[in-house]
Chains A and B, each alone.
Chain A
Amino acid sequence: MAITTIDGQKVWQRRDRNTQLRSWALWLVGTAIFMWCWQQISAVTTWPFFWDAPRIAADIGGRAMPPRWSYMDKLWAPLWDTLNIATLGTVMALMMAVPVAFMAARNTTPSALFVRPIALLIIVSTRSINSLIWALLLVKILGPGVFAGLVAISIRSIGFCAKLLYEAIEEIDESQVEAITATGASRWQVMAYGIVPQIMPAFAGIAVFRWDINLRESTVLGLVGAGGIGLQLQGSLNTLAWPQVSLILLVILLAVVVSEWVSAKVRGAII
């Protein structure tokens, strides 16, 4: 912001000359960096493949159409597995996330000095690793199959659910808690009457939201052998069975649309 006086009149400009020059220089540097990066990527791109891409895509698309509907017979079971991984994984995650959330929330933690950092560490560490990587790891430990996927989904979800839940706990109206405490209620009664009713909407919202995410994540777990429809997807991709691939993608799309619809309904019902 610069105010100068020209002929006795106060003139206002957004920036004075030096700031303006600096801003232009920064733009110049930014553009240069962008151009340089562009060039780097361009240098390592195999351009014939790139120019070829529309034709190949059209070719695969042509082979994938129409989807092989009869393959559906073999998809019901893995689809059911996928749904189970998502649902049971969410339930297991919630069971573990609730105590973690109460330990992490500033107003309910038993000890801000010892317990809270541990709870926060659980939240950060489970959240920071993608469920596909958890699955890779767990397939090695538990062996391939649905169970590894289930555990991968639930571990990954603990941090997510616990974080959102503890933020909800920290935002409750303390006066309601105070009122229940003043009646002579025990610590657990204060929790059941003063805190739980206040966080129920948040809890239900988090549960369906995470279930929705988990359904999408569990469709790819099969790629690393952790069960579900992803296994069929990988098999079909490897054998270049494009009509099967298109059917699987269609089924996944439908499943996700249905889960979106269900979670929207549930969330609407709670509020």
Chain B
Amino acid sequence: MLRLEKLTKVYKTGDKALNAVDLEVPKGQVLALIGPSGAGKSTLIRCINRLVEPTSGTVRLGDVELTGLGLGGLRRERRRMGMIFQEYALVERLTVMENVLSGRLGYVGFWRSFLRKFPQSDVDEAFRLLDRVGLVDMADKRADELSGGQRQRVGICRALIQNPSVLLVDEPTASLDPKTSRQIMRLIVELCEERKLAAIVNIHDVALAQMFVSRIVGLKLGTMVFDGAPSDLTEEVLTRIYGDEDWSETIQKVDEDEEVDVA
């Protein structure tokens, strides 16, 4: 579905954020990308929909090579990639409905979007999605009136109304409390299952990642240093990704958490 080949990004300052990363995400797989701050996780996600221009290497979505596209082609392909952000990145002064519908901007002409005359099918879909995430009563509220968890749900709706084939998720839980974090992660994973979406999820919380995803990729200084199942994530691997630290607690905690969760 999504395939990165030798993807490299060197910033103007000379920092090498990504170093020839090869990665393939098949349809329907949710992949967690872990690594220390500055490892290039955000850059990797942004190089896929070219919010950050990659220096070299290719990104393929299905049959389309994204890296070679012009502006118009890129806009068309961005519609197939929904993105969810760390600080929600909702347009704070617009209503929930407007924020959700903004996911359709790539499909609607300027004047229709400017006058908020979206096709009825889009509005129907927006209500369906808001209902799915439990926010249908909030449609007319302004985004800045919502709590963190509610905002992230709106962010998820905005990404899904694009009808994407891939979700790019950048630290979805970094600004949320532990309980809401789990609910949001569970929601993302469930929705990906329902719609057979591939997803790359940047995440700091290793335990949370282990709980929800089927594949984990570790990034360190722009290079992939681990790619495997959550159960393969040993103390030795975590040391390789993050550096020396006592990791026994982190891994133990996962088991405890899961028990609590089941109970």
Binding site for B on A (CB under 8 A): 173, 175-176, 178-186, 188-189, 192-194, 197-198, 200-201
Contacts and interface: CB of A to CB of B under 8 A. Distances in A.
A178 B110 contact: no
A186 B92 contact: no
Contacts of A201: 93
B79 to A, nearest CB: 4
Interface in B65-108: 75-79, 81, 83, 85, 87, 89-94, 98, 102-107
Given A185-B75, A186-B105, 9 more contacts: A173-B89, A175-B87, A183-B158, A184-B75, A184-B162, A188-B110, A192-B110, A193-B94, A193-B98
Query: Which of A173, A182, A185, A201 counts the most chain B CB atoms within 10 A?
Result: A182
26 contacts: A173-B89, A175-B85, A176-B91, A176-B92, A178-B85, A181-B78, A182-B51, A182-B78, A182-B83, A183-B78, A183-B79, A183-B104, A183-B105, A183-B162, A184-B78, A185-B75, A185-B102, A185-B106, A185-B113, A186-B105, A186-B110, A189-B110, A192-B110, A193-B102, A197-B94, A198-B91
Contacts of B91: 176, 179-180, 193-194, 197-198
Contact of B158 (A179, A188, A198): A179
Main secondary structure of the interface of A (DSSP, over half): helix
B105 A176 contact: no
Closest 4 CB pairs of A and B: A184-B106, A184-B78, A185-B105, A179-B89
Contacts, number: 81
A173 B89 CA distance: 9
A152 to B, nearest CB: 34
B113 A193 contact: yes
Contacts of A176: 89-92
B94 A179 contact: no
Nearest to A190: B105
Contacts of B150: none
A178 B51 contact: yes
Given A186-B110, A193-B113, A198-B91, A180 B105 contact: yes
Interface residues of B, number: 31
A193 B103 CA distance: 11
B47 to A, nearest CB: 13
Contacts of A198: 91-93
A183 B87 contact: no
B162 A175 contact: no
Contacts of B93: 197-198, 200-201
A173 B94 CA distance: 14
Contact of B51 (A173, A181, A186, A194): A181
Interface in B127-177: 155, 158, 162, 168
A65 B262 CA distance: 88
B49 interface: yes
Contacts of B89: 173, 175-176, 178-179
Query: Which of A176, A179, A198 counts the most chain B CB atoms within 10 A?
Result: A179
A132 to B, nearest CB: 38
A183 to B, nearest CB: 5
A135 B107 CA distance: 50
Interface string B101-122: 0111111001001100000000
A193 B157 CA distance: 17
